[in-house]
Structure 1
Amino acid sequence: MKSLLAPLFFFVSVFTIQAQQKNLDSLYKVQPVQTEVYAEKAGEKLIIDLYLPQNNSEDKPLIIFMHGGGFSGGSPKNEQEVRFANIAAAKGYAVGLISYRLTRKGQSFGCDYPAEGKIETFKLAAEDFMESVYFMMDHAEKFGIDPENLIVGGSSAGAEAVLNAVYNPELMLEKQNKKVDFKAVISLAGAILDVRYLTEKNNVPGLFFHGTADNLVPYATAPHHYCEPDSPGYLVLDGSKTITEKLAELDTSYLFYTYKDAGHEISGMPFKELPHVFEFLKDVVFEKHKIQSTIYR
């Protein structure tokens, strides 16, 4: 009996491994978090916490994710984002969770804060984000990542910084040290300054999550925090709905989860939808398929 069971067990094991797919299924244990300093600004060390799959010698696609917190709080050690990083690393991704300058710490970012200051806040955060990207590109060999497969994302304020860097670089970045080829962007309740600057030059495929009743970051095109026109902080932003409409016009892939009557809580990590997130990345980034889909929740 043993002689019959051993080959059968081997066959089933091989078949199971072959049936699982890298970047889609959980195939790896995850190394202990590795913290690196990617920049230092005004005496503050900005870090990237790296989550890497064990026993994976191949160059890995990289996800860089930026936390939310209204540019006044938050941390790359946020429980939800750490959980996400471990899930993605187990699928074969390298994941970097970054800190950045919290320039509004202890201060308002609402309707009493002038629009010019809000734009400057976006710029500084976008600058920090790009510094983390350049750091990882410069150390791609050290960390075993594939700089040609770069996926970026953020939540709330982090999503605003990342989206503005990707889709509004002419407005946000004074200079770019090197060309960066983003393969996809993930936005949890984010927005950009001006969708008109999203063109064929920077029409990166995107995954978007947004509540229709978000009262902080507009779902479509509306004032930030819905400030009144006569308030100092009146600044019109283009949210997820407007961005995905522009991507559709540019014939670019997107997946948009729109949550009826939901507020800014949609900036939390969408764990129930993560299987679809990784399927989208597999289909669009690695297999080069085109997907344009809005899912109503």
Structure 2
Amino acid sequence: MRWSVVMVFLGLNTLMVSQNKVTYTYAVKDSVKLEMDVYTPIDIKTNDSLPVVLWMHGGGFEGGQRDNLNDVQFMHYLTENGFIGISISYRLLLKDLGIGAGCDCPKTIKLNIFRQATIDYLDAAKYVISNKDELRIDPNRIIAGGSSAGAEGVLSAAYLKHFFVDDTAQYDEVKFAGAIALAGAVVDADYITKDNAIPTVLFHGTDDNLVPFGKATHHYCSTDSLGHLILDGSQIIADKLHNLGTSYYFHQKLGGGHELAEIPFSQLDAVFNFFKRAIHHNEIIQTTITIPE
């Protein structure tokens, strides 16, 4: 155990010396400071304007944190590959309710939590764009990314602004060049249109029992439960993007569960090669990768 602790410390220390990290407060809501960690390459130049991944962690809207070890490792991957990585905190509105995001959580509460997570993410994106010169980011090359609950927030921010936000004009300047959703879903995929569709990376297990792979209820709650809320998962989103002629990279695992919400480090090179072709070279790429059980 002692050597394991030492190795973890050395690993974290290596990550920290290979990139710069600065923490900013992007909003204060209900006396809660919402912060973001901005990771930049150590060799970044003063006049650089780099692409960015704006990341929202998972945790069922009641747990998780922006500096989980895997999230920090992902930020390291980004800075090593010419990106700025930004990992945000947001309001974990289920944290103190004691009911979790399952079938005992009323649909109205779930929808409000989705709404507030969407707004927090949009506020973070707006802050990044407003401070683009200081942060040295390219506002035209922001990739929205998230895992599980974070993926739901990110997909809603990218595609369902007009469903969740009353005053969308305040976010007119917020544009996303692409999206990454690990085990995510949306309330209604019909809000994905030709006007807002962007190159999207989707990872999902066909047997995910929390966030549906296709069209099904959140946590597969029965119709008579408080938490009955129908969602459109990755399969529905990929089908929608396919029909719209928009680029997507859909990684599905047959029999896979919610572990597909974990950052797919072995697949990151392929993911960012997809974005390079779809965003920077304007290629139409529609890829589905099926992993057998």
TM-score normalised to the size of structure 1?
0.89
2:141 maps to 1:149: yes
Aligned-pair RMSD on alpha carbons?
1.0
CA distance in structure 1 between the partners assigned to 2:29 and 2:175 by the alignment? 25
CA distance in structure 1 between the partners assigned to 2:147 and 2:102 by the alignment? 18
Q: What is residue 60 of structure 1 aligned with on the other side?
A: 50
Q: What pairs with 1:1-297 in structure 2 (closer than 5 Å)?
A: 30-57=18-45, 58-106=48-96, 107=98, 108-176=100-168, 177=170, 178-297=172-291
- The one-letter amino acid paired with 1:85 is M
- The one-letter amino acid paired with 1:139 is N
SS in structure 2 at match of 1:134: helix
Aligned partners of 1:30 and 1:52 also within 8 Å: no
Structure 2 gap ranges (5+): 1-16
Q: Deviations over 1:138-182 (max 9, x none)?
A: 000001111011101100000001101111111112223133221
Mean Cα deviation higher: 249-258 or 29-38: 29-38
Q: Deviations over 1:26-59 (max 9, x none)?
A: xxx8433211111100111101001101222221
TM-score normalised to the size of structure 2?
0.90
Aligned partners of 1:30 and 1:51 also within 8 Å: no
- The one-letter amino acid paired with 1:210 is H
Mean Cα deviation higher: 171-180 or 209-218: 171-180
CA distance in structure 1 between the partners assigned to 2:193 and 2:20 by the alignment? 40
Aligned partners of 1:165 and 1:173 also within 8 Å: no
Mean Cα deviation higher: 175-184 or 214-223: 175-184
Structure 1 gap ranges (5+): 1-28
Q: CA offset at residue 205 of structure 1?
A: 1.2
Aligned partners of 2:63 and 2:92 also within 8 Å: yes
Mean Cα deviation higher: 131-140 or 54-63: 54-63
